[in-house]
């Protein structure tokens, strides 16, 4: 199967339809599939439900899709660094489903493993539990959370071989692995592609069976979310 595509637009060709659900890897601006996000923006597809830990920041990452009003609903755990996200949510322009961070990761992992739901104590007794089934195990109350399945997953890898086996780099792994498995089709962008057999099998984070399409995204301009500097000391 041909997995390597020349650019993001061609890798997403035929996959983008109004109203689909997309699982997007990344945490803040770390490990986000920048090229694929730009291609989704440029495609003009709209009415999207996007599952992501957060929505980037204003005008970066998924924040680009918020600016163009292409996202209808976000399923996220943290949105505090995106003023446009806040504005759209408070004005009723954007539907938001808040989900505890660990629960969000497990919902995606479960969906990728074919598990339709699971019970967790996280959120019991809070608004997170409203409308959800409760069950008692060994005297403790748990709530039912549904696994997440998406039409499309977009993820960012560090290195891949030509078959699509992926390695993530340090904290840039974050949500990428569970998001990748939760999509019916996973498209990955990576910084380097090497021949099959070049990667240590014990170091593979995402097996090639999950990756259907892939692009080489490098070079990247490493963006900084918050720049913190010290005042220069007087001579």
Query: What is the per-residue pLDDT across 75-89, written as a single tens digit (0 to 9) for each?
Result: 999 877 788 998 999
In a domain, 105, yes or no: yes
Its sign, for the CA torsion 62, 66, 67, 72, is positive
Model confidence pLDDT, tens digit, residues 146-157: 999 999 999 999
Three-state SS for 140? strand
Checking if the pLDDT of 235 tops 70, the result is: no
* Exposure b/e, 167-184, CB count within 10 A at least 16 = b: bbeeebbbbbbbbbbbbe
Report the C-alpha gap between 191 and 139 in whole angstroms: 49
Q: Report the percent of the chain where pLDDT is more than 70.
A: 99
Model confidence pLDDT, tens digit, residues 204-234: 999 999 999 999 998 888 777 777 888 887 7
pLDDT higher for 1 or 108? 108
Chain-centroid distance of CA 57 in Å reads 14
So what's the pLDDT on residue 176? 98
Report the C-alpha gap between 39 and 8 in whole angstroms: 6
So what's the pLDDT on residue 222? 79
The mean pLDDT value for 201-205 works out to 97
Structural contact between residues 181 and 108, judged by C-beta atoms closer than 8 angstroms: yes
Q: In the β-sheet with 134-137, what is the strand arrangement from edge to edge?
A: 117-120, 140-146, 134-137
Q: What is the mean pLDDT of the chain?
A: 95
**Strand pairing report for 48-51 and 71-76:** parallel
**Residues 6+ away with beta carbon under 8 Å from 83:** 58
Closest CA to 145 of 111, 182, 118: 118
Residue 186's pLDDT band (boundaries 50, 70, 90)? very high
Q: Report the percent of the chain where pLDDT is more than 90.
A: 86
Report the C-alpha gap between 123 and 144 in whole angstroms: 10
Token couple for 41 = 């923006």
In a domain, 234, yes or no: no
Give the helix/strand (H/E) hosting 10. helix 8-11
Domain that holds residue 29: 4-11+18-116+149-216
Checking if the pLDDT of 1 tops 70, the result is: no
Report the C-alpha gap between 123 and 147 in whole angstroms: 16
Say which range, 29-38, 44-53, 76-85, 100-109, has the weakest mean pLDDT.
76-85
In a domain, 171, yes or no: yes
The half-sphere exposure of 75 on its side-chain side, counting CA atoms within 13 A, is 21
So what's the pLDDT on residue 174? 96
Report the DSSP beta bridge partners of residue 118.
Answer: 145
In a domain, 80, yes or no: yes
In a domain, 70, yes or no: yes
Instruction: Domain count for the chain, please give it.
Output: 1
The mean pLDDT value for 43-64 works out to 94
Residue 46 sits in a domain whose CATH number is 3.40.1080.10
In a domain, 130, yes or no: no
Residue 19's pLDDT band (boundaries 50, 70, 90)? very high
In a domain, 30, yes or no: yes
Model confidence pLDDT, tens digit, residues 89-144: 999 999 999 999 999 999 999 999 999 999 999 999 999 999 999 999 999 999 99
């Amino acid at each position: 199967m041909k997995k390597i595509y020349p650019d993001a637009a061609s890798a997403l060709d035929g996959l983008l339809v109004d109203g689909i659900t997309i699982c997007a890897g990344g945490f803040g601006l770390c490990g986000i599939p920048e090229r694929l996000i730009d291609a989704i923006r440029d495609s003009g597809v709209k009415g999207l439900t996007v599952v992501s830990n957060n929505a980037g920041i204003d005008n970066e990452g998924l924040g680009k899709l918020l600016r163009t009003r292409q996202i209808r609903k976000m399923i996220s755990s943290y949105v505090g660094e995106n003023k446009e996200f806040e504005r759209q949510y408070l004005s009723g322009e954007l539907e938001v489903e808040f989900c505890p961070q660990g629960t969000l990761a497990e919902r995606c992992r479960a969906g990728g493993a074919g598990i339709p739901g699971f019970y967790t104590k996280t959120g019991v007794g809070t608004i997170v539990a409203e409308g959800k089934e409760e069950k008692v195990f060994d005297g403790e109350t748990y709530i039912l959370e549904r696994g997440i399945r998406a039409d499309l997953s977009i993820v960012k890898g560090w290195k891949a071989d030509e078959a699509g086996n992926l390695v993530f780099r340090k904290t840039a792994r974050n949500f990428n692995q569970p998001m990748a498995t939760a999509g019916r089709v996973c498209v990955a962008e990576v910084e380097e592609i090497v021949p099959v057999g070049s990667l240590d099998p014990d170091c593979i984070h995402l097996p090639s069976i999950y990756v259907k399409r892939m692009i080489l995204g490098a070079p990247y301009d490493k963006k900084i979310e918050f720049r913190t500097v010290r005042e220069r000391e007087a001579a």
